[in-house]
Structure 1
Amino acid sequence: MDILSGRHPKVLVLSPPEDDEALALFRAHSALRPVIADLAHLRAWIARGGKQAVWVKLETGMHRLGEAHPERLAEAAERHGIPIEGALSHLALADRPQHPLTQAQVRRFQALCAGRRWMRSLANSAGLASLPPEAWGDLVRVGIALYGVEPAARIRRLGLRPVMELQARVLQIKSLEAGDAVSYDASFVAPKPMRVAVLAAGYADGVPRGLSNRGMVELGGALCPIVGRVCMDYTIVDVTHACAREGDWASFWGTPGLPVEDACARMVGEPPEIPYTLLSNVGARVVRMARKE
């Protein structure tokens, strides 16, 4: 997370430093700021020789990371000459602004920060869309909105458009006869003669197995159903009615006609799949390409 402060941006590392290797990164980059979630984290930071200013994570009701008594952190930091630049917390139900827990978290955060000359950050993408500006703090930590995905259907839309598209090339086109089985478990059997394309991406690349026999890809100007099980390295799609050739690119999500929310809606299970999972689970071997428009 970048904090644009004059000419010298700073970067919040949202988890506390865990070892000497992490500390070495902080020493090498003075713009990094650790987020300290309790007194033990602060003591470890001091014991390892940490010198940079820190931010503190406050417990306001989500009961994940966070310190419920920031005065203890403030006192210890002052004794050791460690400046506290700011405080943040995280909302459990940011897409439900009228929920009692959301209201309680906003009040709690404001109370814990009262009287302190700290920068503040409470709102995430959903909080930006649902809460009044006075509840956001000085900084908003947008996550899902950076991908151009609306944070939730039940709150005000931010007018975003997708900026991430997952694609794979067509490796082979095959012709099937009625009765031919496709992929593992023979979970799809061709009901009639058809054409299928084998795509060079599977669940190791971030294509969920939950899209097996349920998902769609955009290929050759058409939406093509995924047939059979999604494999580790490959996905097979029905291109009977698409103009598809070997070497063409297929899109799993991120186009106007196939947003990531659509891929989530096609999967079944509890809890329901969410865009956050698909966007953050793209495999390390997938080549990232940035395109400037």
Structure 2
Amino acid sequence: MTTSRLSIDLDALKANWRALDAKSAADVESSAVVKANGYGLGAPRVAQALAEAGARRFFVAAAEEGLAVRQALGPGAQICVFGGHGKGDAAILEQADLVPMLNSVEQYRRHRQALPGAAFGIQLDSGMNRLGLEPADWAALRDEALAAGPELVMSHLACADEPDHPMNRQQLEAFRSMVAGVEVPCSLAATGGILLGADYHFQLTRPGCGMYGGLPFADAQPVAYLDLPVIQTRRVEPGEAVGYGNTWVAERPSLIATVAAGYADGLHRIMGPKTLTYAGETPCPIVGRISMDLITVDVTDAAEVPDYLSLLNDKQGVDDLAENAGTIGYEILTSLGARYARHYRG
């Protein structure tokens, strides 16, 4: 078998959700963000596990994602769509019983005209300048929208992963002002906002990357484990090069393993020079360039060459790979390729 194995620890996922849930008061609801196919780990199974852990409200980016989650969860759970009610979304929103987070006056009018009795939420722009009603538009629409009975009023923090950034307090005060007197649940905090403390929690939090083992939740348990199959080994002599561009040249007699994975599977080319794989406890560095489907690894120091080399594990997590690639753990998780054979445990 030449397919890499992506193992997802559902018990760790649930433990991370419960740990984030415990950081807010008992009267604060913790939802679960399962957009981007459950951060690359498979939204249906992820959502089912989080429902078992206690989540009752879920967030996706687009209506099509919400349909897949609804099919996995069945009736009962609330599934909210960050992207709101886009053109052509009415049929899916109605079929899957989704709650669009309306981001503009135009979306509000569209939703109320197409699905006048259907649930909705409101997203406000508290300073990120990305999605949501700006203060002037909210002031004009507020009374009408609140009279129609939204499920939730929310906004999103731009700098929550930097606890001391002044933007956090600035957005908190802006959001407080915009929701003063609002009697429906309000939400500002995703993972980073949860860690900022109770001022940011309001009535609902939205754990995301921290549930999946990523920063900014430094205490998260690893959730994703990735093993790459060895499909060939070869001996190379000092002075011989490996891979495209001759970027790595052997300085000693070396044993090189070629594994079936590459940048087509979300393993970014730039991470190669700093990234290790593991043969049991033995670190084995990637050598040469990561190509589309193949990676070459120096396994000279391994006691024996296993059938699989471990890339994501308890020693090297998504944020380690992210640092090697000059990016963030979110991108590593959501780039994990469709070719991986996903296995769920727990």
- What is residue 256 of structure 1 aligned with on the other side? 314
Q: Point out the more displaced range, 279-288 or 190-199.
A: 279-288
- Matched to 2:138, the amino acid is P
Q: Residues 236 and 165 from structure 1, CA distance in 2 versus in 1: closer, same or farther, beyond 3 angstroms? A: same
Instruction: Report how far residue 35 of structure 1 moved.
Output: 1.0
Instruction: Write out per-residue CA displacement over residues 106-137 of structure 1, whole angstroms, 9 at most, x where no aligned residue.
Output: 011111111112211111111111x2213212
Q: Report the counterpart of residue 125 of structure 1 in structure 2.
A: 191
Q: CA deviation at 1:244?
A: 4.3
Q: Which residue does the alignment assign to 1:70? A: 138
**Aligned-pair RMSD on alpha carbons?**
2.2
Residues 231-284 of structure 1: per-residue CA shift (max 9 Å, x gap): 1111111000113436x222222x2211222223333xxxx3111111111122
Once residues 229 and 98 of structure 1 are traced to their aligned partners in structure 2, the CA distance between those partners, rounded to angstroms, is: 38
- Other structure's SS at 1:92 match: coil
Counterpart position of 1:233: 293
Instruction: Supply the distance in 2 between the matched residues of 1:212 and 1:132 (Cα, whole angstroms).
Output: 37
SS state at 2:151 partner: strand
Equivalents in 2 of 1:124, 1:291: separation in Å? 26
Instruction: Report the AA paired with residue 137 of structure 1.
Output: F
- Residues 204/50 of structure 1: CA separation in 2 closer, same or farther (3 Å cut): farther
Contact residue 125 and residue 151 of structure 1 kept, 8 A? yes
Rounded to whole Å, the distance in 1 between the matches of 2:94 and 2:167 is 39
- AA at the equivalent of 1:72: A
- The equivalent residue for 1:100 is 166
Pick one of 72, 77, 90 that aligns with 1:23: 90
TM-score (norm 1): 0.86
Higher normalized helix content (fraction of residues): 2
Q: 2: distance between equivalents of 1:179 and 1:238?
A: 15
Aligned-partner residue type, residue 135 of structure 1: Y
1:196-218 Cα shifts (integer Å, max 9, x gaps): 11111100101110122321112
Aligned residue in 2 for 1:86: 152
Residues of 1 paired with 2:276 and 2:248: CA distance? 15
Check the 8 A contact 2:122/2:152 in 1, yes or no. yes
Q: Give the AA of the match of 2:103.
A: A
User: 1:284 aligns to what SS in structure 2?
Assistant: coil
Distance in 1 between residues matched to 2:235 and 2:162, nearest whole Å: 50
1:174 corresponding residue in structure 2 = 234
Aligned partner (choices 247, 254, 268) of residue 208 of structure 1? 268
| SS at structure 2 position matched to 1:207 | coil
1:284 aligns with 2:338: yes
Q: Is residue 42–residue 73 contact of structure 1 (8 Å, CA) maintained in 2?
A: no
Aligned with 2:123 (options 57, 79, 89): 57
Q: Which amino acid aligns with 2:203?
A: D
Matching residue of 2:282: 222
Q: Secondary structure at the match of 2:345?
A: coil
- SS of the residue 1:169 aligns to: strand
Q: 1:51 to 1:176 in 2, by over 3 A?
A: farther
Q: Give per-residue Cα distances to partners, 1:116-164, cap 9 Å, x unaligned.
A: 12211111111111x2213212111111111122316xxxx4x221111
Identity rate of aligned residues, in percent? Answer: 32
Unmatched 5+ residue regions in structure 1? Answer: none
Name the amino acid aligned to 1:171: I
What whole-Å deviation, never above 9, does each CA across 1:16-45 have from its counterpart, x for those lacking one?
A: 23242x322211122x21111111112222
Corresponding pairs, count: 275
**1:74–1:84 CA contact under 8 A, matched in 2:** no
Corresponding residue of 1:9: 77
Aligned to 1:141: 206
Q: Is the 8 A contact 1:36 1:56 kept in 2?
A: yes
- Residue in structure 2 matched with residue 265 of structure 1 by the alignment: 323
Deviation at 1:288, TM superposition (A): 2.1
